Amino acid sequence: MDFSIKTIDAKTGTTGIKTDCIVVGVFENKKLSQAARELDRKGDIAAALKSGDISGKPGSTLLLRNTDGIASERILLLGMGNEETISEKNFLSAAQALARSLAGLGAKDATLALPLDSVNKRDAAWAIRSIILAIRDNAYRPDTLKSQKDANSNGVRKLAFATGTTDSAAAKNAVAQAVALANGMELTKDLGNLPSNVCTPTYLANTAKKLAKDYKFGIEVLDRRQLEALKMGSFLSVTKGSEEPPKFIILKHMGGKTKDAPVVLVGKGITFDTGGISLKPGANMDEMKYDMCGAASVLGTFRAIGEMGLKLNVIGIVPSCENMPSGRASKPGDIVTSMSGQTIEILNTDAEGRLILCDALTYAERFKPAAVVDIATLTGACVTALGHHNTGLFTRHDDAHDELADELLAAGKATGDTAWRMPIEDSYQEQLKSNFADMANIGGPPGGSITAACFLERFTRKYTWAHLDIAGTAWKSGAAKGATGRPVPLLTTFLLNRAQAGSGRKAA
């Protein structure tokens, strides 16, 4: 769908807007929004409310046709809930209902004349983004590999947001950013939903190369020989059992000042996780194609910031491989040496994400980063702790790390892509002790998501760092099975806020 801004004529108001369908808000207790009152010349809208044809409750809808004195052929009434305070929840319900309604209309274009700036504690830009994301999510189909594509409706193809002249520039910027974000989320969903026989490490590398070409990113892809030269023994231990070659992808978006240190995003890219020799149960193992959603979210975020032309230096690192059992695979009890020189006793080969991430986090040191955020479908323990609503956020407890945590939490809250801060303390590090190596790769069942973060923390002490465990938020199971596109909204907004604040520090 094409999205645009339409400026309302001060003389004619919404009655003069020429469109196939105009959308206006109505409220509970039979109240009309300002735009609805302008259109209600004959009392048709008020009569519909009075008769109970539409309740005004969030997400309720009613279509009126051929209303006298109105330039638009159709008027779509959209319930917004309480007039006094349009809550965020009610507006999102209305946005989702709007997306479904527009998909089923015979109209080619529509104009929204909704009270976008009346949502409690939110601005019009948030409302515009919410509507665009709801529409794009409703239209998304994971049918890339189907011989018969899922049926798409012949609904509205062009949607305009009606605004006043003073709001036009800000609204246009909000639309552009929302579309870029939706595009980034769609790429992340597509990559996550592809099967592992298609979305291999090489496929991820080729996707990164295409992004680099399209948006003029710097790109480097390291192969096994180069990883051996870098002494990434931990990463390489995971890929030993697979026939697929590993790839280590580095993307560079240098949109900021030359001397500004970059923000580094590190995404776990296990394109399929059998558990290795510590083999997973067969039930639902197909969902382990989603173990590369951290990598997909980094690539999706780069798609978004590339389209936005973000004025910030951002580097993406994606270590990618499969975790497969074979005669060459790592075994429980094996000891490997990481790029940092620290040795690791592999007690469970299914705790492999941290083994590839630790070398990537060590590699990130060379960029003298302002901050590093790793994103990974790391632990089932995080799902147990937080369910499927919040991403787990882990970082050290000091002023610099508290500030980074606050930035990420605020970005999540602003977008509805929420995270929850979890503890990470030295007392948990005791669980990673090994008699034979510097550390073990697991710390036992208690606090499993925390000890996983504590493992990663040992490789990040030269910079400011945070870890996002997205195991519960990156995809859905059951009838709604599919990648969610999270945490692209959180990451993109985090980077946008940094760019706007000019928070890149000087490189050392």
DSSP string, 105-145: -S-SEEEEE--TT-BTT--HHHHHHHHHHHHHHHH----TT
- Predicted pLDDT of residue 69: 82
Residue for token digits 């059951």?
478
Tokens representing 452 are 């996983």
Instruction: For residue 433, give the nearest of 458, 460, 396, 398 by alpha carbon.
Output: 458
Mean residue pLDDT of the chain comes to 95
Q: Is the pLDDT of residue 377 over 70?
A: yes
Q: Is the pLDDT of residue 67 over 90?
A: no
182-501 belongs to which CATH class?
A: alpha beta
Report how far residue 182's alpha carbon sits from residue 189's, in angstroms, rounded to the nearest whole number.
10
Average pLDDT (483-508) is 84
β pairing state of 343-345 and 439-440 = parallel
Spell out the domain ranges in the chain: 2-140+156-163, 182-501
Percentage of residues in the chain with pLDDT exceeding 70? 98
Q: Is the pLDDT of residue 124 over 70?
A: yes
Cα Rg of the chain (Å, integer): 25
H helix or E strand, kind and range, residue 49:
helix 44-51
Which range, of 1-10, 184-193, 218-227, averages the lowest pLDDT?
1-10
Tokens representing 390 are 């919040």
What pLDDT band is residue 507 in, cutting at 50, 70 and 90? very low
- Predicted pLDDT of residue 153: 67
Using alpha carbons, list the distances in angstroms from residue 374 to 135, 160, 369, 417.
29, 37, 13, 16
pLDDT in tens, 283-299: 999 999 999 999 999 99
Percentage of residues in the chain with pLDDT exceeding 90? 91
Q: Is 157 one of the catalytic residues?
A: no
Report how far residue 471's alpha carbon sits from residue 63's, in angstroms, rounded to the nearest whole number.
41
Q: Is the pLDDT of residue 337 over 80?
A: yes
What pLDDT band is residue 494 in, cutting at 50, 70 and 90? very high
Average pLDDT (98-108) is 95
Q: Which residues pair with 113 in a beta bridge?
A: 24
Pick the CATH number of 2-140+156-163 from 3.40.50.300, 3.20.20.80, 3.10.20.740, 3.40.220.10: 3.40.220.10
- Predicted pLDDT of residue 504: 44
Tokens representing 493 are 């907004």
Q: Is 50 one of the catalytic residues?
A: no
pTM recorded for the entire structure: 0.96
Q: Which of 252, 280, 368, 481 is catalytic?
A: 280
Q: Is the pLDDT of residue 508 over 60?
A: no
Position with higher pLDDT, 17 vs 263 = 263
Q: Which of 122, 189, 289, 354 is catalytic?
A: 354
User: Per residue, what are the HEC states of 263-301?
Assistant: EEEEECEEEEECCCCCCCCCCCHHHHHHHHHHHHHHHHH
Average pLDDT (482-487) is 98
Q: Is the previous residue joined to 115 through a cis bond, with omega within 30 degrees of 0?
A: no
Using alpha carbons, list the distances in angstroms from residue 85 to 37, 82, 121.
18, 6, 10
Q: Is the pLDDT of residue 76 over 70?
A: yes
Q: Is the pLDDT of residue 96 over 80?
A: yes
Report how far residue 83's alpha carbon sits from residue 163's, in angstroms, rounded to the nearest whole number.
20
Q: Do 374 and 268 touch, CB atoms closer than 8 A?
A: yes
Using alpha carbons, list the distances in angstroms from residue 151 to 105, 146, 148, 190, 283.
15, 12, 9, 18, 30
Using alpha carbons, list the distances in angstroms from residue 84 to 24, 80, 81, 93.
17, 11, 9, 17
Same fold, 2-140+156-163 and 182-501: no
H helix or E strand, kind and range, residue 323:
strand 313-323
Q: Do 257 and 504 touch, CB atoms closer than 8 A?
A: yes
Instruction: For residue 472, give the nearest of 423, 420, 415, 425 by alpha carbon.
Output: 420
